[in-house]
């Protein structure tokens, strides 16, 4: 068996095409969706991510602005900028690019963003609604993209064994909650999990999001499983995922590449959330 490659670039393009019409409808009613991104410091990867987000906004017709701050920015000054954007009626979505410098509390900053502008879905109120299954929260972008990609395979998630490797608030935990919402039986693994190979081998759906390049090899994967690789680690060979692609493709039924898998979908879901925020207003 050779896995079918899940083309995240192609799927993201399809999503963006659909969003263009939604933006046109909003503009015709007098609303121009706008995203404000805050970038603190000089992390090269963060600068690339923000640049890609800016280009994607432009493509679908969303207005965007980038606030670039030095790495020695104080938490109080960042809070003041967030408060200013919270009060700006023309700004519908606010995104603070992570990670932040050590002197700034990510939790404090994320929770200072108004829930109705928290298009990354990482604030306590949106996360709480997601966990409780209440209201209409903004869903974190990467997990939202993961579910979309799984659905493109035609696999029915309901009743499947889903294993999530990684327990971050950004990907692992919300991905597990979304899979539960689709009626999968979910197990979360992490760096201290015992018998990782044995557990992973039972996964019908595997989400790898632990940040360790090529941790998961083909011999660990169940025949025919859908494997979503969220890992992006820069190595001497370039960007590598958490899954050893070459060996995994001989066992998996479906497999995302790195790059070109989950990454483009994360940005597409950010655009979707921004349009949702503008529509709610």
* DSSP codes, 202-220: T-SEEEE-S--TT-B-GGG
Q: Does domain 30-114 have CATH number 3.40.50.10860?
A: yes
Beta bridge partners of 4: 254
| Run of H or E including 93 | strand 93-96
CA separation for the pair 41, 100 (Å, rounded): 8
- What pLDDT digit, counting tens, does each position of 136-149 carry? 999 999 999 999 99
Average pLDDT on 91-115 reads: 97
Top CATH class, 140-263: alpha beta
Region class of 138: left (phi > 0), else alpha (psi between -120 and 50), else beta: beta
- What pLDDT digit, counting tens, does each position of 16-69 carry? 999 999 999 999 999 999 999 999 999 888 999 999 999 999 999 999 999 999
Residues with active-site annotation: 53, 97, 120
Q: Is there a common fold for 30-114 and 140-263?
A: yes
What are the boundaries of each domain within the chain? 30-114, 140-263
Whole-number percent of the chain with pLDDT over 70: 99
Does residue 213 register a pLDDT over 90? yes
């Amino acid at each position: 068996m050779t896995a079918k490659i899940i083309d995240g670039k192609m799927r993201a393009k399809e999503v963006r095409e659909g969003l263009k019409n939604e933006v046109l409808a909003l503009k015709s009613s007098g609303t121009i969706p706008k995203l404000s991104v805050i970038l603190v410091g000089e992390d090269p990867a963060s600068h690339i991510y923000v640049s890609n987000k800016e280009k994607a906004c432009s493509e679908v017709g969303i207005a965007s602005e980038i606030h670039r701050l030095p790495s020695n920015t104080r938490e109080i000054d960042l809070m003041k900028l967030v408060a200013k954007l919270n009060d700006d009626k023309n700004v519908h979505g606010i995104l603070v690019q992570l990670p932040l410098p050590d002197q700034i509390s990510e939790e404090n900053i994320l929770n200072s963003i108004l829930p109705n502008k928290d298009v990354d879905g990482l604030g306590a109120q949106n996360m709480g609604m997601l966990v409780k299954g209440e209201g209409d929260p903004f869903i974190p972008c990467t997990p939202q993209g993961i579910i979309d990609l799984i659905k493109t395979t035609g696999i029915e998630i309901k009743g499947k064994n889903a294993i999530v490797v990684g327990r971050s608030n950004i990907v692992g935990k919300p991905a597990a909650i979304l899979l539960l919402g689709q009626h999968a039986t979910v197990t979360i693994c992490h760096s201290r999990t015992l018998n990782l190979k044995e557990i992973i081998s039972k996964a019908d759906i595997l989400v790898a999001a632990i940040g360790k390049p090529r941790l998961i090899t083909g011999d660990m994967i169940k025949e025919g499983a859908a494997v979503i690789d969220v890992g992006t680690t820069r190595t001497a060979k370039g960007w590598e995922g958490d899954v050893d692609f070459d060996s995994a493709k001989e066992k998996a039924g479906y497999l995302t590449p790195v790059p070109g898998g989950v990454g483009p979908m994360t940005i597409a879901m950010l655009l979707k959330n921004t349009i949702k925020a503008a529509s709610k207003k």
